Amino acid sequence: MNNSVGIVTTEYAHFDTELRLESGRRLGPLTIAYETYGELNTDRSNAILVTHAWTGDAHAAGRHHEDDRKPGWWDNMIGPGKVFDTDRYFVICSNTIGSCKGSTGPTSSNPANGRPYRLNFPVIMVRDMVRAQKLLIDKLNIDKLLSVVGGSMGAMQALEWGIHYPHHVRSIVPIAGCGRTSPMAISLNALARQAIFNDPLYKKGNYRPEHPPADGFSLARAVGHISFLSDESMHLKFSRRFSRMDGMFDFFGKFEVERYLDYNGSSFVDRFDANSFLYLAKALDLYDAAWRFDSLEEALSNLICPSLWFAFTSDWLYPPYQPEEVVEELQRQKKPVAYHLIESDYGHDSFLVEPEKFIPLLKSFLGELSY
């Protein structure tokens, strides 16, 4: 485990309070799953919050057991000597509300009746996720975060932190994100939704955990996963190779890319919940940094800390023009902002697949923040 944070444990913070959501509904009590890496310094000024993407979790680095097959999802970024150097920084990663990975979500017990919320769980927005994170940061007695860093849905959370808690964060780093979700991204999620809704086992959200709507959910995941890739990455990984398992003229025979999507979808069903998937997709669809402001210009006027933005040339889920819309407005307002367009063939997943392409820029940015 060279340069690893080693064996880590997921912790759970419980809050008896009710969180007032953007919908006007209240959610509580709350549980937030989180992990920490490194040590908080004496003046509590070296904390970095890492925010995860759509179906991510709090397990960003290290392993839970010696025999774990895979480390945390950003293990190549967090640890001694890495960009999030745990000899220098105290790194926090929390699971968002609405998920099924330890924080309060549709699979959690509804205090009104003791049964899982399922579709009685309220619709949440990314802003609600950030409000819940603020409860956790307050509980950890951290007044000001050195930075909030995240990719995809994590980038949206980072931007929300900067806009709504400007005096509690010293910088933000949105990676492969946007200021508002596009109609194209919403339409892909609509297809994923219909795939789940049309599965007879979905039962309007009242499926049994041991009998999930596996066929529809697997297809929904495949739709989403295609949007994380790119034409270039599919050529590199699969080309037009036909599956060795099938005959080319077998009507039900498949290309390698089809087999990959089948495997990715079916394995995902075993580790995530369909209702949580749908609620988080809805939060992505609803995302607009200008929500409850008169304009994006007004929303970004709240952002006072330095921000570092990354986009990727082959990302077609949140293509470069979308973060550039935000960056250009910040530049117009003469806010401290930096932007880098990274050449990569790996589509939206570039921030996970090729972090080495932006690590030096991120490391330099963090190094300039004194604490």
* Known catalytic residue at 294: no
For residue 283, what is the DSSP state?
A: H
Q: Which residues contact 340 (CB under 8 A, 6 or more apart)?
A: 308, 309, 310, 311, 358, 361
Question: Cβ distance 217 to 281 under 8 Å?
Answer: no
Q: Considering Cα of 349, then 352, then 353, then 355, what sign does the dihedral take? A: positive
- Give the Cα separation of 79 and 84 in Å (integer): 6
Question: For tokens 């190549």, what's the residue?
Answer: 76
Question: Cβ distance 78 to 63 under 8 Å?
Answer: no
Among 128, 315, 345, 349, the one annotated catalytic: 315
* Known catalytic residue at 167: no
- Bridge pairing between strands 19-20 and 30-37: unpaired
Amino acid identity, position 100: C
- Give the Cα separation of 208 and 9 in Å (integer): 28
Among 171, 233, 344, 348, the one annotated catalytic: 348
- Give the Cα separation of 52 and 72 in Å (integer): 11
The beta strand positions in the chain, using DSSP E, are 11-15, 19-20, 26-27, 30-37, 47-51, 78-79, 84-85, 90-94, 147-151, 172-175, 307-312, 337-342
Among 94, 99, 147, 152, the one annotated catalytic: 152
* Known catalytic residue at 348: yes
The catalytic site residues sit at: 152, 315, 348
